[in-house]
Amino acid sequence: MTSERKSIHGQWSTRLMFILAATGSAVGLGNIWKFPYITGENGGGTFVLVYLLCIALIGIPVMMAEIMLGRRGRQSPINTMKTLAEEERRNVNWIWLGRMGMVAGFMILSYYSVIAGWAMSYIFRTASGVFVGATAEGVSSIFADLVSDPEKLLAWHTIFMAMTMIVVARGVKHGLEVAIRFLMPALFALLLLIVGYAMTTGHFMQGVSFMFTPGEISNEGILDAMGHAFFTLSLGMGAIMVYGSYLPKGTSIVQATMFIAAADTIVALLAGLAIFPIVFANGLEPGAGPGLIFKTLPIAFGQMEAGTLIGTTFFILLVFAAWTSAISLIEPAVAWLAENKGMNRLHASVWTGVAAWFVGLGTIFSFNIWSDKTWSIPYLFKDYTLFTTLENLTFNVMLPLGGLFIAIFAAWLMRESSSRDELKTYDWIYRLWRILLRYVTPVAIIIVFLKAISII
């Protein structure tokens, strides 16, 4: 009986802890680093509207499905898909969905840790006042010096990975819950502090207008919004599935998903409201691209009153967001090692963390000693560094495929009685979820996938 299936790793003590943990998984560099700059690149208001629609039509149905599969299986993603495929009398090869998610999360963790290390280094750079009065050329030079020094990157990468391993090794209640109970409220408090400062710049309403006034958007912008809505919720990488496996039976998956999606979206919008007024107040360009955080904002921090304090706070916020996501990225592999190799959580965390740390060396070297070495994957991309290869392979290929197969399994192959038993919601909500997951979500994901591999 599925009602008697228990996770050997324990479970969340309350629904709130699950919501905070899953929100922490979803809230990461994508919300605070990527969302503001792609909003800037795509003109603001209409992009935000399309993004919100995509969260509702794509993100929420897939998240409900992934949490549902996790709770029903009560194991790591690989073992969950094996158990559910047997239970639903489907082909055992559905185990590859769990494998792909776990591998994707592991690969993302390997380079995520390096980028988080940049943010950690910027905490101390900003606090020391190095950006005070710095020119654009000076700030760019500081960033270039950082990424060109493999020893510095290695040190920060090692520290961040160790922080992640320590939390995960302590288990669900003593590790994940303790960290999340502190990190998530701190993250929201820091973000609100920076938004509060942005309101004093005299350009807050300009930022609001930029983000919420409809305007023109290209087809590429629509696809970017669709893709980011999917990726920002941490779907398809095993993290939400394994967190769902720790969810108590009586907790409403529908309500929990709505809270998580709302919190994740609010953080992204608040990040925009924190950043754009500061950008406008300093005469900077909102469409500055990926360098908005590490090359553009430090110029603003160096010119504003209390800029050292605000800037330091901002990069602490960025590290907290990255940390909560990294914890969820390592968890699927740790759970699998504990279930299949008889390891305790300490040994499983160390093995996984060290392996991800080692793979992360490739990302570090991609910015310096291996910067001239490129990789190609036929029909996908060519002449990419190892970092951009890993980034594109995971976010543009593996995660969309993971989300697509989750939708297919949950909506087409899983018995209606099984999914109803887990969701336990109003009939109209269940039917709407099933229709979206069967017809709307797969088409949208396929469009994103085709765009990513440059077929359209």
Per-residue pLDDT reduced to its tens digit, 30-47: 788 778 878 888 888 888
Beta-carbon contacts of 225 under 8 Å, excluding residues fewer than 6 positions away, are 42, 47, 50, 51, 54
pTM comes to 0.91
Beta bridge partners of 377: 381
What percent of the chain has a predicted confidence (pLDDT) above 90? Answer: 47
pLDDT band for position 1 (cuts 50, 70, 90): very low
Per-residue pLDDT reduced to its tens digit, 53-64: 989 988 999 999
Please report, as a single letter, which amino acid is at residue 143. F
Q: What does the pLDDT read at residue 243?
A: 93
Q: Give the position of tokens 């709302």.
A: 262
CA distance 223 to 455: 13
CATH 1.10.4160 fits 2-452, yes or no: yes
Per-residue pLDDT reduced to its tens digit, 153-180: 999 999 999 999 999 998 777 778 888 8
Q: How far is CA 105 from the centre of its chain?
A: 10
Question: For the ranges 29-43, 130-144, 231-245, 264-278, which has the lowest average pLDDT?
Answer: 29-43
The domain locations on the chain are 2-452
Per-residue pLDDT reduced to its tens digit, 332-371: 999 999 999 989 999 999 999 999 999 999 999 999 999 8
Phi and psi (nearest 5°) for 382? -140, 155
Mean pLDDT across the stretch 421-450? Answer: 91
